[in-house]
Amino acid sequence: MTANNKTKVTIKHDGFEGFIRRGREHAKALDKGETLPSEITISFETPTEMMRVFTLKRTELLEKLTQDGQQPINQLATKLKRKRTAVNRDIGVLRKVGVLSTLSVSNPGHGKLLMVSPLARRYEFIWSVGAAGREAHK
């Protein structure tokens, strides 16, 4: 799967309450016959959980993929000046939360290549701390 320019990916920390609220909003829109926008929302319970997943190195990796598009993991590791094993580990985490995808393709004479793709061209992070923080992005 390659990046979709129309898909909006929002990453925030509004927890279960936000998930339920978005579900109700989508249900109301569908009941009215409206078409839902092409979007992905990834929600964490707390800002701390969100920051554990989206470390500086993982965010740099995601940024490089959105800039350059689909590429083999070896090429990505070289561009980021990081060890392939570290990049591979970070790709696994980001794939698990749903912000990128991987595809194993044939590399004639050399086995297989693991291609890495972002799910969108742009990612929006909403992060806030404090009692009013959660209310700010409802």
User: CATH no. for residue 91?
Assistant: 1.10.10.10
Q: What mean pLDDT is predicted for residues 38-49?
A: 86
In a domain, 125, yes or no: yes
Is residue 3 in some structural domain?
no
17 within a domain of the structure (yes/no): yes
Lowest pLDDT segment from 1-10, 18-27, 80-89, 113-122: 1-10
Q: In this structure, is residue 130 part of a structural domain?
A: yes
Confidence label for 112 from pLDDT (cuts 50, 70 and 90): confident
How far, in Å, CA of 50 to CA of 24, rounded?
A: 24
- Looking at the domain assignment, is residue 66 inside a domain? yes
For 128, phi then psi, to 5°, come to: -150, 155
- Locate 91 and state its tokens: 């790709």
Q: Is residue 65 part of a domain?
A: yes
Domain that holds residue 114: 8-136
Separation between Cα atoms, residue 54 and residue 62, nearest integer Å = 9
Residue 62 lies in a domain: yes
Q: Is residue 2 part of a domain?
A: no
pTM, to two decimals = 0.77
Residue 12 bridge partners (DSSP): 43, 126
Q: Give strand ranges (E) for 64-107.
A: 71-72, 100-107
Q: How many domains does the chain have?
A: 1
- The span from the CA of 83 to the CA of 121, in Å, is 25
